[in-house]
Amino acid sequence: MRKKTIGVVALAFLVVVVAFCATEPALVQAQRAPNPVMSPLDRYLIPDENSEIALARSAAPPSISDQAEVMVLGRDGYTTASKGGNGFVCLVQRSWAAATDFPEFWNAKILAPICLNPAAARTLVPLILMKTKLAVAAKSRAEIAEAVKSAMDNGTVPALQPEAMCYMMSKQQYLSDHDMNWHPHLMWFVPGDAAKAWGANLLGSPVLAANDPEDRMTIFLVWVRHWSDGTPAPQDKSATLAPHTMH
């Protein structure tokens, strides 16, 4: 049986988020991955800052994202490009916001806009920033995974808050080579393996979920019917969780 795993977005991500279905060990996945090592950093950067700000804001409806803080990626990691006033943080996650066993962990085409609510901004953004610092410093998957484990063991990154959630409703999102812009969705982050408590992944349930053991959380997803700009989104109910791990 296929095993569903999910890692941050992440965003951290991310990333986020979204699940990767696999039947092979992580080492084999990495060896067969389309991007087994990191590409030159320039391939992950968006040269025009205003374009990246707009892409980040597209993760959520303007009523939320217009008042959010926006972070953009540079050579040393993310920095704040626009101050906010509602506690939300919007940014464009790159591939390394995912769990390190994600086959497209170094895919430079991945751009995953996300707007995190105040609770998620306080508790997940530090994890995204840490992973990004390691990635732009050319650390390996194994080194990033070990750093995440160490940070969680010693409390360097804050524990998840109960209200943590985010918006991923950008029509321009590119979540993987397989699913590209997938579906607009909302995500909630819960400590531990909690899918059963939500009735997720059951027949007829609108809630999708997957456990992310690397980031020690369950990520719950609910589709919405429109993109952040208000245009209708595909409603293909035969689709399953996207094979990416952005949060």
Q: Label residue 4 by pLDDT band (50, 70, 90).
A: very low
Cβ(188)–Cβ(174) under 8 Å? no
Indicate whether 41 pLDDT > 90. Answer: yes
Q: How far apart are CA 96 and CA 110, in angstroms?
A: 9
* pTM (whole model) above 0.85: no
Among residues 14, 16, 45, the alpha carbon closest in space to that of 221 is found at: 16
**Would you state the pLDDT for residue 243?**
41
The string of pLDDT tens digits covering residues 174-227 is 999 887 888 999 999 998 888 888 888 889 888 899 888 888 888 999 999 999
Every domain of the chain and the residues it spans: 15-214
CB under 8 Å, gap of 24 or more: what pairs does 42-48 form?
A: 43/108, 44/73, 44/94, 44/95, 44/108, 45/73, 45/74, 45/75, 46/72, 46/73, 46/92, 46/111
**Would you state the pLDDT for residue 232?**
93
pLDDT over 90, % of the chain: 62
**Which sign, positive or negative, has the C-alpha torsion 143, 145, 151, 157?**
positive
Q: Token pair for residue 75?
A: 């050579």
User: How does the average pLDDT of the chain come out, rounded?
Assistant: 84
The string of pLDDT tens digits covering residues 127-155 is 999 999 999 999 999 999 999 999 999 99
